[in-house]
């Protein structure tokens, strides 16, 4: 009986870990990497130069508007954990994964040399 209980607990733990796993996305020449999770979106600048006017948006499936947050500057190799509550819709509502099903993370930025970036990565 004890072996069955421990097997059940192990199976439950594996399912919980799989459900909580975060995804990571990056295009080959993308200036940023994005990791998504249940509580945070982590963005890292891998452009080699500081990025300015960084807008990070979460695009829901369907025709809902994008939820966005803004950072004035993201230093080279800087990694930011952004709470899902920091993303706001056009009307000021917070991003809530119980209501919204994200499809993409959309990042726009400009490096210090003036080169503009516009990257859309899948939500994993």
Mention every residue, 6+ apart, whose C-beta is less than 8 A from residue 87. Answer: 41, 56, 57, 58, 67, 68, 69, 94, 95
pLDDT tens digits along 12-67: 443 333 334 445 555 557 899 999 999 999 999 999 999 999 999 999 999 989 99
Question: Does the residue 13 lie in any domain?
Answer: no
Mention every residue, 6+ apart, whose C-beta is less than 8 A from residue 58. Answer: 41, 66, 67, 68, 84, 87, 95, 100, 102, 104, 105, 106, 123
Question: Does the residue 44 lie in any domain?
Answer: yes
Question: Does the residue 17 lie in any domain?
Answer: no
Give the domain extent around 90: 23-122
Question: Does the residue 113 lie in any domain?
Answer: yes
Question: Does the residue 7 lie in any domain?
Answer: no
Query: Domain count of the chain?
Result: 1
pTM score of the predicted model? 0.76
Mention every residue, 6+ apart, whose C-beta is less than 8 A from residue 83. Answer: 39, 40
* CATH number of the domain where residue 73 is located: 2.60.40
pLDDT tens digits along 68-103: 999 999 999 999 999 999 999 999 999 999 999 999
- Does 111 or 7 have the greater pLDDT score? 111
Question: Does the residue 18 lie in any domain?
Answer: no
Give the C-alpha separation, 92 to 95, whole Å: 9
Question: Does the residue 16 lie in any domain?
Answer: no
């Amino acid at each position: 009986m004890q072996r069955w209980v421990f097997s059940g607990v192990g199976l439950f733990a594996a399912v919980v870990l799989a459900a909580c796993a975060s995804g990571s996305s990056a295009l080959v020449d993308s200036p940023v990497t994005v990791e998504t999770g249940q509580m945070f979106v982590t963005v890292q600048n891998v452009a080699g130069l500081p990025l300015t006017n960084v807008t990070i948006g979460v695009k829901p499936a369907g025709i809902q508007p994008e939820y966005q947050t803004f950072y004035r500057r993201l230093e080279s190799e800087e990694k930011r954990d952004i709470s899902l509550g920091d993303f706001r819709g056009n009307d000021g509502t917070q991003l809530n994964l119980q209501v919204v099903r994200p499809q993409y993370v959309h990042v726009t930025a400009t490096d210090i040399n003036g080169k503009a970036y516009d990257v859309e990565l899948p939500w994993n």
